[in-house]
Structure 1
Amino acid sequence: MKKTTGKMAVLLACICSLLWATAALASSAVGEDGTFNGIRLAGKVRVVEYNPDIKVQVVTSFPDLKVKVVDHFPSEIGEWQFVEYGEDFTIQFVTSFPDIRIKYVTSFPGLP
């Protein structure tokens, strides 16, 4: 009986850790309203080398946000217009430890 109880405890612990890991991976840094730390992820964006508002990693799968680059009127979540001044927020492109992960798209920007 003790062997069965011990095996059940180990199995239960494994299942709980898998559920916790899945929940952690499924959570996105971008809120349901399309914001990150109070920054609405739409508008004019300036790329900087230091002290960004958001550190961004470009990925091809499992993004936090799908981004469409536009030339004018970036009003919807995920529509970004890259500018040299007059930005709404700044980003820095990184290859590790990003705040958010983005994927460039040509249509249907926003939350995945």
Structure 2
Amino acid sequence: MLKRLLMVQSIINNITHSPHTDIGFTAKQVKKLRSLRNNHSEWELLQSLASVLAPFYLATKCLSGRKYTTLSVSYWVSQNLSIYLTTETPNATLENKNVYVND
């Protein structure tokens, strides 16, 4: 969902930053659209959230197979998630905050 939202970020910005009544929006709708606009830091946060959640999405898809045994894959998936959660990503300040290993 976040990936698709970020793919249409420019369209959302165009609609929320400069909605026009001449294309059929009422004044109330224009006011509401302007109140929904995201600033740069909010878009950056959404991008970071999408990056952090992507490996969990892939792990879920991998462990949700119906045509193969998922128990044998679970160890591999959990190990890769552990490595992902304890490794810093270059140039990703938001994703790297509070990277801890709790053993």
TM range (shorter): under 0.3
Q: Which has the higher contact order (CA 8 A, sep 6+)?
A: 1
Give the alignment's TM-score, normalised by structure 2. Answer: 0.27
